[in-house]
Amino acid sequence: MARKIPEIPSASLADIAFMLLIFFLVTTTMDVDSGLERKLPPMPPEEQQDTPPIKERNVFIVLVNARNQLLVEGELTNVDDLREKAKEFMANPNDDPKLPEKTMKNVDFFGNVEVTKGVISLQNDVGTQYGTYIAVQNELVGAINDLRNELAKSKFGKPFESLDKDQQDAIKEIYPSRISEAEPKKVGGK
């Protein structure tokens, strides 16, 4: 007759599991990486064609120098005021002749609407601090996001994020995210 094998005690199972649990608790990093998402322009082709000139009223020029000061459309500006200025430029609510032109365009859901031709141009110095650069980028992206949100709320009664893809694309066509970055200047030294 075979002898009975004694049962393996399972009392320590909990302890082993706890040890593993504590190890994973300690090594876990729960933080989700987040950041400003941008698309870089592709490299220009070798034989550079001249880009068609853009009218001055259609360009919103933002310059940042090595001392982290902002020159917006020829005026010294604080970062906090940049968003309002960019919004006014992109929306041009009163058809100001100094602000960008608009073209009629047929967009889904909206029919024929006026779409701005405005382009935001950002140029920084080699010595500009990265923090300032991100703050400026953030305000410019924020301005466009604000405009999209306002339009989404007035048209669909919902914020931009909770719209479906077609609706988002329609709004993106009306307020395109056109931020161009020029090559940095090397003026302010290191």
Binding site for other proteins (CB under 8 A): 10, 13-14, 17-18, 20-21, 24-25, 27-30, 32-43, 124-131, 133-135, 137-138, 141-142, 145, 183-184, 186, 190
Least Å distance, CB 72 to other proteins, is 18
Reported as half-sphere exposure (CB side, CA atoms, 13 A), residue 80 has a value of: 0
Q: State which residue, 41 or 53, has the beta carbon closest to other proteins.
A: 41
Q: State which residue, 18 or 159, has the beta carbon closest to other proteins.
A: 18
Looking at residue 67, what DSSP letter applies? T
| Cα separation, 90 vs 87, whole angstroms | 5
| Cα separation, 64 vs 68, whole angstroms | 6
Residue with tokens 């550079």: 48
| Cα separation, 79 vs 72, whole angstroms | 10
Least Å distance, CB 42 to other proteins, is 6
Residue 68 in tokens: 């982290």
Least Å distance, CB 143 to other proteins, is 9
Least Å distance, CB 56 to other proteins, is 25
Q: State which residue, 7 or 95, has the beta carbon closest to other proteins.
A: 7
Q: State which residue, 139 or 174, has the beta carbon closest to other proteins.
A: 139
Angle at which helices 165-174 and 130-156 pack, to 10 degrees? 110
